[in-house]
Chain A
Amino acid sequence: MVSFKFDKSMKKIVVTISSLLLPALVFGGNLTQLEGSFKVGPAIILIAMLATFVMVGFFSRAKDTTDYYAAGRKISNISSGMAIGSNWMSAASFLGMAGMMYTTGYNGLAYVVGWTGGYVLLLILMAGQIRKYGKFTAPDFIGDRYYSQTLRGLSAVFTILISFAYCVGQFGGVGLMFKWILGIDYSWAVIIGASVVIGYTMLSGMIGATKNMVIQYIILIISFLIPTFLLTYKFDYFWLLPQFGYGSIVSDIIQGIPAPNISDGVALINAYGHNVSLVASPEFAMPWDPATGSTAFQWMAICFSLMLGTAGLPHVLQRFYITPTIRDARLSCVWGLFFICVLYWSAPVYSAFGKILSFNPEVGGLASDAIVVYTAQLGGLNPLVVGLLASGAISAAFSTISGLLVAGASAFSHDIYTKIINQDASPKAQLNMARFGTILMGLVVGIVALLKLGMIAQLVSVAFSMAACTIFPLFLLGIWWSGANRAGGMAGMIVGISISLFSLTYFIAAKSGAHLPGQEFVEYWLNVWYFAWIGAPLSIITNIIVSKLTTPTPVEIKKFLIEKVHS
């Protein structure tokens, strides 16, 4: 049960990477290039990082479908926790979380709480039971538990759709960072990024993706933490533990910072030479501030929907199949949450510094997509540190993309091809189909990302509520109530899909400039980010009512649940 023995292959990787990184240290100190140009030091870090991912994938090639879908069920709980963390933390978490708090203040914290609180539900209600059930994928569980090929197929399609929309969204972050480091345009960023991630995921499946996720977590967390220490030290705040020491920055933002702001007799300035000062801005921290246009209901609805969505996302659920034991599945969830929280405790530091460093009208509002990198730049940090940060963002995107590719490809090859289309497929054919599924999904995602269909990337917002309304109720009732049957599952799924489609229609209409009847009502009460606040309970209630009124669950399923899952 060891995921990271320092074996011969790992030694080769470390030696190669070290030799690639040396020039970065030589060139790193002289970087003064402007936005969008080729930056030598960060470029070397990026290339070394990409080479590592490919090599880890090559040395961890999947030998069979258990390797491909569930990493051979031999990933230790700490490694699995890191994989959970990096699989979860996408470019949106890495780059966008701080941006959310920068633009919407306290409302952004609904995302922090929503994206972490869901793991408590996941652990106490599902993690151990999912592992005990012993399947490979989320649709696999649903198909078996509800003894329904239709539900298996539907949930597989949902898994592919969610993974697809999510993946496309990641390429926005990859494109942004590649442009910053290499000075290349978005199309090349997508082509290079997609080739690397498809390459190593196709070769190694879940086993290589998971080993890479551990490395990606280490890169992303180190790159994210270093600037927080440097910024707090440089601007004279409590720097020993910035994650808990940035309270006085928040208070300074609320009260305003006088100019000139002096520390040790020196006026504090940003990278443009502007005074670090600010008018009083309580809207940054006060709850549902009128200036942000958000309400307490929206805060709670977003938080609730994200929590249920987190516990219902297929690529998150799939991570509990890879541990050797059920205890490991639970511990990996604890570690995973802790590793996620390390980043989520740090993200507000960037939003707070972004606020004070960008105050001068000449800087203007920072683009929330890249506020983390811009804040480090505005703080005048060494370009190598900023470059590492950008590489961390790419790591975050890659880890999520590979997890999604495996989840989507597994749904296609295992749940649709092997379980529905060709039930007699040999293990070799299954493995080939899984690889084909990864390439197919990667290519389609890459092509759609190249088309820059902004709408697709925005559909990520619907993924959480959709997962909360469709997959979460099936898992919750499937695990905890033997009475949940096929008809109930189907009815609950239909309700969940209907509400999702209803909200999605209004969302697309609004984005296209059309106006449907009751547009304002739906946008407020059934917004794509949080329609699960009502959709998930309705789906659960429908499942219960229909299950009570129809033929009971077959006894062998009840027996399996009680003897294998709950004993």
Chain B
Amino acid sequence: MKTSDNEYNFSLFKPVSPYSRKNRNLIVTLSIIWFVAIFGFQLLLVLFEKPTPEKTLIAFESVWESVKTGKATEQEKKDFVNSLIAVAGKSSVKPVNKTVLDNVLTWYVYSMVSDPEKVILSEQIKELVIIREKLAEASDAEYTQLQSDLIRIKTTINSIANEKTGIDPAHNKEAILPYSLNAENKEPSAGDLEALPKIMKLYLTHNQSFLTDTKILGFPFHYFYTAEFLLILFVGMCLFYSIRITQLQKKFSIKEG
């Protein structure tokens, strides 16, 4: 029987019975596991991460000076164009950066083909833009015709540009090329040329470490840990708590409603 007001004081950290003490220990233990499992691991990622360039960035940086100064060999130009397309094909590229990439790419692709081919390329790209606009509003009948026109145009563009620019057929880069060229061939501005290396670095550098490079069930380890394991841990912790608290209640003869 409680005899004074103060005896009704309690907190999580000041339990008033053996059962409360056990419950407190359980809650504190699970909370620590919960916190460390989530945030401790993310801190480990931060601790070990190292900005790691993709091979494409290394290829780009090795030819950039030559390309910028106009001293690039044919092979260097091809490597340059391929590296730009690898970035232009990423869906994460922001529109403002895509514009810079397209401007520079257009200039160098046009510089690698003959004058008559330049004219054809420009006309085909103009037509491509019109068809893409029409496709959005097309009826079923128009859609089929527009699609076949699209295939014809892409084939023409690829037949002109692929060989001369050394487009790597792997990873479908040839599908990206027609959508990364402008109809108007303008020399890239100083601003575009200044921005390009930064854009390439932004999209081709990633925070990696042994935690991201190790594989488990096909996943990068950190991805598996966060997307799969943490959720299993949460369900497991909840199940464990429910079972354990019932056991404690039996042990201490606690009857709940």
Bound together, the chains give a CA A246 to CA B227 distance in angstroms of: 11
Bound together, the chains give a CA A290 to CA B171 distance in angstroms of: 23
Asked whether A120 and B219 contact (CB < 8 A) given A300-B39, A345-B231, the answer is no
Chain B residues contacting A337 (CB-CB under 8 Å) are 234-235, 238
Q: Is B179 an interface residue (CB 8 A)?
A: yes
Number of A residues whose C-beta is below 8 Å from B? 88
Q: B122-146: which have CB < 8 Å to A?
A: 132, 140
Main secondary structure on A side of the interface with B:
helix
Could you tell me if A365 and B11 are in contact, using CB atoms closer than 8 angstroms? no
Stretch of B71-79, B89-97, B111-119, B183-191 lying at the A interface: B89-97
Asked whether A275 and B172 contact (CB < 8 A) given A117-B34, A303-B38, the answer is yes
Q: A102-150: which have CB < 8 Å to B?
A: 103, 105-106, 109, 112-113, 116-117, 119-121, 123-125, 128, 132, 134
Q: Please pick, from A120, A291, A480, the residue contacting B92 in the complex, using a CB distance under 8 A.
A: A291
Could you tell me if A281 and B218 are in contact, using CB atoms closer than 8 angstroms? no
Could you tell me if A341 and B231 are in contact, using CB atoms closer than 8 angstroms? yes
Asked whether A283 and B90 contact (CB < 8 A) given A125-B27, A132-B256, the answer is yes
Q: Please pick, from A105, A119, A277, the residue contacting B238 in the complex, using a CB distance under 8 A.
A: A119
Q: A267-298: which have CB < 8 Å to B?
A: 274-275, 277-292, 296
Residue of A238, A288, A552 ringed by the most chain B CB atoms within 10 A: A288
Q: Please pick, from A247, A280, A303, A362, the residue contacting B216 in the complex, using a CB distance under 8 A.
A: A247
Number of B residues whose C-beta is below 8 Å from A? 79
Asked whether A289 and B206 contact (CB < 8 A) given A257-B171, A300-B39, the answer is yes
Q: Is B56 an interface residue (CB 8 A)?
A: yes
Could you tell me if A112 and B256 are in contact, using CB atoms closer than 8 angstroms? no
Q: Is B30 an interface residue (CB 8 A)?
A: yes
Residue of A103, A119, A259 ringed by the most chain B CB atoms within 10 A: A259
Main secondary structure on B side of the interface with A:
helix
Chain B residues contacting A280 (CB-CB under 8 Å) are 54, 56, 86, 171
Stretch of A248-256, A381-389, A494-502 lying at the B interface: A248-256
Q: Is A218 an interface residue (CB 8 A)?
A: no
In chain B, what residue has the closest Cβ to A254? Answer: B220
Could you tell me if B227 and A348 are in contact, using CB atoms closer than 8 angstroms? yes
Given A247-B223, A250-B218, A257-B171: 19 more A-B contacts, CB < 8 Å: A124-B26, A134-B257, A250-B219, A281-B92, A283-B206, A286-B206, A286-B207, A289-B207, A291-B203, A296-B42, A327-B256, A345-B227, A360-B175, A483-B9, A561-B10, A562-B10, A566-B20, A567-B17, A567-B19
Residues of B within 8 A of A (CB): 2, 5, 8-12, 16-17, 19-20, 26-27, 30-31, 34, 38-39, 42, 45-46, 49, 51, 54, 56, 85-86, 89-93, 132, 140, 150, 169-173, 175-176, 178-180, 202-203, 205-208, 212, 215-220, 222-224, 226-228, 230-232, 234-235, 237-239, 241-242, 245-246, 254, 256-257
Residues of A within 8 A of B (CB): 34, 103, 105-106, 109, 112-113, 116-117, 119-121, 123-125, 128, 132, 134, 238, 243-251, 254, 256-259, 274-275, 277-292, 296, 299-300, 303-304, 325-327, 330-331, 333-334, 337-338, 341, 344-345, 348, 355, 358-362, 365, 480-483, 552, 555, 558-559, 561-562, 566-567
